[in-house]
């Protein structure tokens, strides 16, 4: 009778391939540490940017407070009784200069691009110039009277004004039906108009 040798593992834990597992865990831990370092660095960078932004906001608020103080001083000077007439005259002259700066040739050229063939321009009033900000194109409000024998043609004019980059949303102020000796429907239209003065 032959005896067959039996392999018995007397160790408390059986043999395992731990070297490969340890290498994988080491790589994962290294990647996590690198990402932690990147996150901490980005947090410190964001905090520095936020503090810079807060400093800039503080400087801007200080400048704004100074400008408001200057404005209140200037307003107090202008509100004095002896300066009211001069201020009103200055505003009046500035309005005249702004109105003189409107190019009527350009106004008629630009209106010609949006005016339908069966609509006539009967009258146009001196535009109102809004010159609050002199660094940008001044805003002009055109007040005009148009006439047509076909009322639906005015709808085409209003649509053309709306689509144009130079004009804005037009308002129909009044409508006058034809009279016995005047066959035209007359419409008073106001429209904002952008012209660089």
The 10s digit of each residue's pLDDT in 41-97 is: 999 999 999 999 999 999 999 999 999 999 998 888 878 888 778 878 887 887 777
pLDDT per residue over 89-144, tens digit each?
887 887 777 667 778 888 889 899 999 989 999 999 866 655 554 444 456 788 99
Contacts of 136 (CB under 8 A, 6+ apart): none
103-194: which CATH number, 3.30.70.2830, 3.50.70.10, 1.10.3470.10, 3.30.1280.10?
3.30.70.2830
User: Which pLDDT belongs to residue 130?
Assistant: 56
- Per DSSP, the residues of 139-187 read EEEEEEEEEESSTHHHHHHHHHHHH-SSB---EEEEEE---SS---EEE
User: Which pLDDT belongs to residue 137?
Assistant: 45
Distances (CA, A) of 42 to 36, 53, 56, 175: 10, 16, 21, 66
Average pLDDT over residues 174-183: 88
Of the pLDDT bands very low, low, confident and very high (cuts 50, 70, 90), residue 10 is: low
User: Which pLDDT belongs to residue 135?
Assistant: 40
Q: Tokens 């290498």 map to which residue?
A: 23
Least confident of 2-16, 26-40, 157-171: 2-16
């Amino acid at each position: 009778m032959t005896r067959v040798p039996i392999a018995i593992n007397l160790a408390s834990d059986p043999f395992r391939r731990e070297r490969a597992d340890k290498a994988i865990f080491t790589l994962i831990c290294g990647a996590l540490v690198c990402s932690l370092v990147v996150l901490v660095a980005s947090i410190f960078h964001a905090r520095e940017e936020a503090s810079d932004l807060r400093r800039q906001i503080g400087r801007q608020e200080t400048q704004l407070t100074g400008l408001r103080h200057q404005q209140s001083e200037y307003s107090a000077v202008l509100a004095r009784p002896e300066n009211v007439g001069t201020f009103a005259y200055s505003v009046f002259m500035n309005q005249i200069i702004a109105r003189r700066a409107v190019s009527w040739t350009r106004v008629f050229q630009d209106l010609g691009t949006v005016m339908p063939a069966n609509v006539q321009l009967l009258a146009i009033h001196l535009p109102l110039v809004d010159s609050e900000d002199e660094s940008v194109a001044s805003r002009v409000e055109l007040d005009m009277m148009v006439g047509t024998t076909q009322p639906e043609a005015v709808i085409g004019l209003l649509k053309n004004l709306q689509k144009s980059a130079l004009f804005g949303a037009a308002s129909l102020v009044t409508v006058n039906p034809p009279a016995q000796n005047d066959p035209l429907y007359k419409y008073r239209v106001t429209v904002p108009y952008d012209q660089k003065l």
